Amino acid sequence: MVKSISTAKRVRTPASELFWRWCFITLLLCTCVVVLVPLLNVLALSLSDPARVSEVRGLTVFPKGFSLVNYRVLLANPLFMRSILNSVFITVVGTSLNLLVTSMAAFALTRPKLPFKRFFMILTSWS
Amino acid sequence: MPALSRRRDWTLLILLAPALAYFLVYHLIPIGGMVMAFQDYRIIGKSPFVGLKHFKMLFASPAFMQVLVNTLIISFMKIVLFFPLPIVFALMLNEVRTSFLRKFIQSTTYLPHFLSWVVIAGIWIAFLSPSSGGANQLRGLFGLPPRDYMTDKSAIRWVLFASETWRSLGWDSIIYLAALTSISPSLYESADLDGAGALQKMRFITLPELLPTMVTVFILNMGFFLNAGFDQVFNMMNDSVISVVDILDTYVYRIGLLNMQYSFSTAASLFKGAIGLVLILAAHQGSRKITGKGLW
């Protein structure tokens, strides 16, 4: 008897609350659709068979036919490979240097023994 | 405190040195370049000092005034109008109890944040294209004639607002979601015992608990009011709408680097910097008053 009351209490959610919850879920899923459709459209364009690419309209999310020829051309382009390498280089070297410099500075800035601490704190946060 | 622990440790400066060198080279030395705003700058030879000539030209120029108005309008849309959207988003998402749905919605809406504006501009220009874009396909479903949003002066600012929302809505809601999960459940339990409805719980518990976060986010954004987003505007603007979307940063870039009027564009940039400094200081004071914590 006692057990059934406690489970009933746990499960019960007011009908109005459930209604609103479903409204919210619907709205949020609509947001997801708005975010995804343009992205999937671009993906569909890039994967479509070049002969059928004119069939891909603005709201198409699945490729028409399937072909990787665009990617093959892109990867064969030396300029593209160069720019990819540049991006990777900048990201890897930049991030490691950044981490090194900022962590060293952060360590120093948190020590109370640092000379002119207040001055440096203001300087670094006024970037 | 004992005298020993107060002693200065000069070796710590070695750790700080690379960061200081960075600040010196990229932040302090360039300040000297501001002198260009008061000169007729010449690349070769001596630049004569002309005082406030470029500032007078700046404020007399109708183009600059238009640029200033554009910056204020676009910033207002992207900071003030956009402000409640992530809050509403987080509040709605907080009601979703199904873990799978919640994760799906979160991952999906965070996605555009990781794309650069160059890519987003490409996607949006394709999506809004009058001939093949998804937006006009939708309009067609309702029997409306196609419309070219990207070259329409009355629509382009809303395109900027919409693309900013599209990119940042999910990401900016993270901070509010975190604030929502840190609200003590006991507050809601006692409200339930007092017979409070969902709206009352929202009004008397959720919103007051979220207020400090909202104030901090808003004030921090206000400090960047004159920025209005160079990357976005630069990638989405075109010659037919340039008069309504040209902002301070794009204007300074065009006049200074493309037309090579270095002194004039430095004056514009300096003006922006001065207003920006005032805004940041005001944001700092405001934040300290309201949340007890400054920006530095």
The whole-number pLDDT of residue A2 equals 46
pTM of the predicted protein model: 0.84
- Among B residues 255-274, those touching chain A with beta carbons less than 8 Å apart: none
At residue B2 the predicted structure's pLDDT band, cuts being 50, 70 and 90, is very low
Rounded to the nearest integer, the mean pLDDT of chain A is 84
- Which chain B residues are Cβ-neighbours of A25 within 8 angstroms? 96, 101
For chain A, the residue count is 127
Mean pLDDT of B114-119: 94
The whole-number pLDDT of residue B178 equals 93
Q: Identity (one letter) of the amino acid at B251?
A: Y
Determine contact: A92 vs chain B, CB below 8 A.
Answer: no
- Which chain A residues are Cβ-neighbours of B8 within 8 angstroms? 113-115
- Among A residues 47-86, those touching chain B with beta carbons less than 8 Å apart: 57-59
At residue B294 the predicted structure's pLDDT band, cuts being 50, 70 and 90, is low
How close does chain A come to B239, measured CA to CA in Å? 24
Is there a contact between A113 and B6 if contact means CB atoms under 8 Å apart?
yes
Determine contact: A46 vs chain B, CB below 8 A.
Answer: no
Determine contact: B8 vs chain A, CB below 8 A.
Answer: yes
- Which chain B residues are Cβ-neighbours of A121 within 8 angstroms? 296
Mean pLDDT of B260-275: 87
Mean pLDDT of B22-44: 84
Collapse the DSSP code of A77 into the 3-class scheme (helix H, G, I; strand E, B; otherwise coil) and give the result: coil
* Chain segment B156-181, per-residue pLDDT in tens: 999 999 999 999 999 999 999 999 99
Higher pLDDT, B227 or B293: B227
Collapse the DSSP code of A58 into the 3-class scheme (helix H, G, I; strand E, B; otherwise coil) and give the result: strand
Q: Which of B179, B242, B170 is nearest to B205 (CA)?
A: B179
Q: Which of B291, B202, B248 is nearest to B75 (CA)?
A: B248
- Which chain B residues are Cβ-neighbours of A16 within 8 angstroms? 198
The whole-number pLDDT of residue B93 equals 92
Position A122 pLDDT exceeds 60: yes
Q: How far, CA to CA in Å, does B160 sit from each of A98, B75, B234, B250?
A: 32, 10, 11, 14
Locate all alpha helices (DSSP H) within chain A, ordered by sequence. Answer: 2-11, 15-47, 69-76, 78-110, 117-125
The whole-number pLDDT of residue A3 equals 46
The percent of residues in chain B predicted with pLDDT above 90, rounded, is: 36
The whole-number pLDDT of residue A7 equals 47
Is there a contact between A31 and B295 if contact means CB atoms under 8 Å apart?
no
β-partners of residue B39 are B49
The percent of residues in chain A predicted with pLDDT above 70, rounded, is: 87
* Chain segment A70-79, per-residue pLDDT in tens: 999 999 999 9
At residue B58 the predicted structure's pLDDT band, cuts being 50, 70 and 90, is confident
How close does chain A come to B135, measured CA to CA in Å? 7
At residue A119 the predicted structure's pLDDT band, cuts being 50, 70 and 90, is confident
The whole-number pLDDT of residue B157 equals 94
Higher pLDDT, B198 or B144: B144
Q: Which of B251, B253, B228, B222 is nearest to B65 (CA)?
A: B251
Determine contact: B202 vs chain A, CB below 8 A.
Answer: no
The whole-number pLDDT of residue A82 equals 94
At residue B6 the predicted structure's pLDDT band, cuts being 50, 70 and 90, is low
* Chain segment A18-28, per-residue pLDDT in tens: 888 889 999 99
- Phi/psi class of residue B47: alpha, beta or left (left: φ > 0; alpha: ψ in -120 to 50)? beta
- Among A11, A16, A32, the strongest candidate for a mutation testing the B interface, having the largest count of B CBs within 10 A, is A32
Position B246 pLDDT exceeds 60: yes
- Which chain A residues are Cβ-neighbours of B19 within 8 angstroms? 101-102, 104-105, 124
Is there a contact between A58 and B112 if contact means CB atoms under 8 Å apart?
no
Position A12 pLDDT exceeds 70: no
State residue A54 phi and psi, 5-degree precision.
Answer: -70, -15
Rounded to a whole number of angstroms, the CA Rg of chain A reads: 28
Mean pLDDT of B92-97: 88
Mean pLDDT of B231-250: 92
Closest chain B residue to A58 measured between Cα atoms?
A: B134
Question: How distant is the alpha carbon of residue B87 from its chain centre?
Answer: 17
The whole-number pLDDT of residue A100 equals 95
Q: Which of A8, A12, A14, A26 is nearest to B199 (CA)?
A: A14
Architecture category of domain B62-291 in CATH: Orthogonal Bundle (1.10)
Q: Is the ipTM of this complex over 0.95?
A: no
Contact B68, B248 (CB under 8 A): yes
